[in-house]
Amino acid sequence: MSDVTRAEVCAVACAEAFRGDGEILASPMALVPSLGARLARETFEPDLLLSDGEATFVAGPWALGAKPPATTEAWIPYRSIFDLVWNGHRHVMMGASQIDRHGNQNISCIGPFQQPKNQLLGVRGAPGNTVSHPTSYWVPNHSTRVFVDKVDMVSGVGTDRGVDVPLRRVITNLGVFDLGGPDGTMRLLSVHPGVSVEEVQAATGFDLHVDDVVESRLPTDEELRLIRDVLDPKNLRDKEVPPA
């Protein structure tokens, strides 16, 4: 197992974020989260629902970069997505251009909203996602530019906004986090192999809550086979998280 890559550890961490979800829609927004969701469904979460990105739930193993499986499980037109969102039957794993100690997320702009330095995606569905159903974040390049003391604009809602925020996990190329710190602040749960707690803190623009940090779980032999031979045979994962 010594040849396990950082991307494969990240994929397992993303899969673990979906553990216990059961029959809900998983909506991963990048390569490694997509790999993680598919890995979870092929192992410990067989009831997890995955969309082809258009109008159907698809069944069976699905490799990154390949066409969706021909076998469909159900029809899921766009209008039905809102019912899943409002009823909490979805778990989205989004990106974050900025995120702060309370889990407030920004994907809208860098700099003042009235005259930003850079225009990004806009808030998109982040406000509704973060107050309606489980939400996780994936950051492939953990740095002080992303983990900031205060986000320039709140797109996804954090724990200091007076609402019950169902934020599940924040996963980066360095470690795994949740909001289990004092007053709903960010807590370091695990560091990936070869990463130190000090390295994570130095790449973070605020103080992390650190207590009983463990090493992130490595893939099992079966998970490694699925990742390499079935779910990502083209090794696209290393493009998002290069080997350390």
Q: What is the pLDDT of residues 182-211, one digit of tens each?
A: 999 999 999 999 999 999 999 999 999 999
- Where does the pLDDT of residue 2 fall: very low under 50, low under 70, confident under 90, or very high at 90 and above? low
> Among residues 124, 127, 97, 100, which one has the least CA distance to residue 111?
97
Residue 156 · residue 103 · CB < 8 Å: yes
Mean pLDDT of the chain: 94
Looking at residue 69, its pLDDT comes to 87
H-helix or E-strand containing 105?
Answer: strand 105-106
Residue 61: count of CB within 10 angstroms of its CB: 14
Average confidence (pLDDT) over 28-37: 97
Q: Which residue has the higher pLDDT, 78 or 172?
A: 172
CA-wise closest residue to 218 among 193, 242, 243, 238: 193
Under a CB-based contact definition with an 8 Å cutoff, are residues 223 and 39 in contact?
A: yes
- Residue 175: which H helix or E strand, with range? strand 175-178
Q: How many whole angstroms from its chain centre is CA 49?
A: 16
Looking at the domain 6-240, which fold is it? Glutaconate Coenzyme A-transferase (3.40.1080)
Token pair belonging to 33: 């989260």
> Which pLDDT score, from 0 to 100, does residue 7 have?
98
Collect all residues with Cβ–Cβ distance below 8 Å to 80 and sequence separation of at least 6: none
pLDDT of amino acid 6? 98
pLDDT at 1: 43
Q: What is the pLDDT of residue 48?
A: 96
pLDDT of residue 121: 85
Instruction: Please determine, for residue 81, whether its predicted confidence score (pLDDT) is greater than 90.
Output: no
Question: What SS3 state is found at 171?
Answer: strand
Average pLDDT on 136-157 reads 97
Reply yes or no on whether the pLDDT at 72 is more than 80: yes
The pLDDT of 119-126, averaged and rounded, is 86
Query: Of 145 and 112, which is predicted with more confidence?
Result: 145
Please state at what angle helix 6-17 crosses helix 31-42, rounded to 10 degrees: 60
Mean per-residue pLDDT, 92-102: 97
- CA 17/CA 14 separation, integer angstroms: 5
Is the predicted pLDDT of residue 235 greater than 80, yes or no? yes
Distance CA 103, CA 183 (A): 11
